[in-house]
Chain A
Amino acid sequence: MHALIQGLILGVLTGGVYALMASGQTLIFGIMKVVNLAQGAFVIASAYLAFTLFTRFGIDPFLAVLITTPLMFCIGAAGQWLFLRPLRRENAAELSLLVTFALALLIEGILSVTYSTTYRSINTGYANKSFEVAGYTVSAVRLYGFLLSIALLGLLYGVLQKTRFGRAIRATVQNPQSAALLGVDATRVQAYGFGLGISTAAASGSIFGLLYPFQSGSHYDLISRLLSVVVLGGLGSIGGAVLAGIAIGVVSSVAAVLWSPTWSEMSFFVVLLLVLLVRPQGMFGRVERGAV
């Protein structure tokens, strides 16, 4: 029982981080129907950035978020403008898969050349610190990472619900023609929306780098997990991505406790397949339109 609850705690904390990563990816899908295969690569790139800022300049990875978030936003917006905007509308959905996969390979290539392919990790003073709460161990990095993820998810929600830009994004998702007729520039919304989705990779990268050793090829494993989370939550649904992230985090760490770490790795895909058998649109997906 103790081990089970310990696994639950770990799962919720890890799941929060997956939720943050996946929220950006599902947002991008909601806005432009693009399955962004480069989301994982942007997370790994952000982990490297946090690594460099820490080892070279002594900037704490949690503080580095203040630098990497706006940077990732700009890179994302520019990347959309350069690579995705020119796609012809009729086959944009299929071509964007190739384009974002190419983008992932490009990022991986740049990272391998810059950092070589050896595993890196970010070792802060609190890397091995943990708290004891009622007999349960909570790792400091995981707790801080979870709290930061939740705070950023709240911020993202606030931007989408309460700002003029957020309203324009939701409007474009729900009725693109009508948004255009009210003066919304769809190309601009898509570029900034892509930037916003990519910007969630910045903090996720810092946390990922603190939790796990990583190298330039780590994004393959990451993107397959993110795809599971996003599809499970229902493509385009941010709330769904958050719940799916936490659900999958819990299932995989409980599976590790009850059975074995191998099952933990597999649990992402097992849960995904089981849920899709019952609900092909994901747990919270609507069949017709995005639910942003």
Chain B
Amino acid sequence: MTTAINADGQRKPPLLEIDDVVAGYGAGVILKGVKLVLHRGDVMCLIGPNGAGKSTVLKTVSGLLRPKDGAVRLEGEDVTTEAPKAKLRRGVVHVPQERSLFPGMTVWDNLLMGGYLMRNNKILHARIDEAAQMFPIITSRRSAHAGSLSGGEQKQVELARTLLFDPKLILLDEPSIGLDPKSRRLVFDAIRSLAAAGRTILLVEQNARSGLAASDQGAVLESGLVRLTGPAAHLLGDPEVARLYLGASQHARPSNNAPALSSALAAVAAPTPQEELT
């Protein structure tokens, strides 16, 4: 299904269509024809092993990387070649995998940078106040240097900053990576609140179980191709997905004679806290 029927019974194109996108860095090809469809109000979790190209998918959507072939469409409009600035104006906000705050600037200045394209200060301040309801840290630590906040606090400020765009689509790349369990829970709570507020989110998570649990839809990316899509609950219940991507749960440990690839994937997806950070 690539079209949804809206309240008036008219066919409306999906919010985001990634259509046979081929992309890579320099001459190399990482994405070999990725296809994904995301509807308004949905949260989709993209999972897959390290190096599969998940971050690259988000970069082609936000405009950081221009696809070599295929198309990216927003509400039916072809936006394949648009730069990040044009995408932002359409309401597409990308929170990259790497820390994205400006460490030497205060939390407040970081928020103001979120309003860089906004000429109307009144609206900006109103949106900051609004974002503070969900992320009180942006007022309580307003004058602190972003670099002095903990990883979890920084992530909250990053999430708060996306709200200043009143985003149509939020691209979240591994928001829980490198966080302690408590901060990780806060981040997933925040994602759920954003979803409850009707935001559309494309989420990339190494922490596949928590990611899928917070999502409506799921997709599996492997070696630059989408291998599987479906409702997140189905993916969570799928024994094959569980074995490959959800890590060893009580009853489904990967056996020692599992194929090399599978065990490598399971190792990657195992729910051990990953403290190393870029």
Contacts and interface: CB of A to CB of B under 8 A. Distances in A.
Interface string B82-99: 001100110001101011
B101 A178 contact: yes
Contacts of B98: 177
A180 B84 contact: yes
Contacts of B109: 167, 170
B105 A171 contact: yes
B116 A164 contact: yes
Nearest to A290: B104
Nearest to B88: A183
A171 B96 contact: no
Interface residues of A, number: 17
A182 B104 CA distance: 17
Contact of A181 (B89, B94, B99): B94
A179 B117 CA distance: 11
Contact of B102 (A174, A180, A183, A185): A174
Contacts of B100: 175, 177-178, 181
B105 A174 contact: yes
Contacts of B84: 180-181, 183
B102 A171 contact: yes
B167 interface: no
B116 A182 contact: yes
Q: How many residues of B sit at the interface, in one of the four size bands?
A: 20 to 34
Interface in A78-122: none
Interface string B46-64: 0000000000000000101
Given A164-B116, A184-B116, A170 B102 contact: yes
Contacts of A179: 102, 113
Interface string B223-259: 0000000000000000000000000000000000000
Most B Cβ at <10 Å: residue of A174, A182, A183: A182
A174 B99 CA distance: 11
A43 interface: no
B215 to A, nearest CB: 23
Nearest to A164: B116
A174 B101 CA distance: 9
A185 B85 contact: yes
B104 A170 contact: yes
A184 B102 CA distance: 13
A115 B103 CA distance: 48
A159 B99 CA distance: 26
Nearest to A180: B84
Contacts of A47: none
A291 B104 CA distance: 8
Contacts of B103: 174-175
B112 interface: yes
A181 B104 contact: no
Interface string A170-213: 11001101111111110000000000000000000000000000
Interface string B104-147: 11000100111011000000000000000000000000000000
Contacts of A230: none
Contacts of A182: 88, 113-114, 116-117, 161
A119 to B, nearest CB: 44
Contacts of A164: 112, 116
Interface of B: 62, 64, 84-85, 88-89, 93-94, 96, 98-105, 109, 112-114, 116-117, 161
Given A164-B116, A180-B64, A181-B94, 18 more contacts: A164-B112, A167-B109, A167-B112, A167-B113, A170-B102, A171-B102, A174-B103, A175-B102, A177-B96, A177-B98, A177-B100, A179-B113, A180-B84, A180-B85, A181-B88, A181-B100, A182-B116, A183-B84
5 contacts: A174-B102, A174-B103, A175-B103, A178-B102, A183-B116
Closest 8 interchain pairs by CB? A178-B100, A183-B117, A174-B102, A183-B85, A183-B88, A171-B102, A183-B116, A171-B113
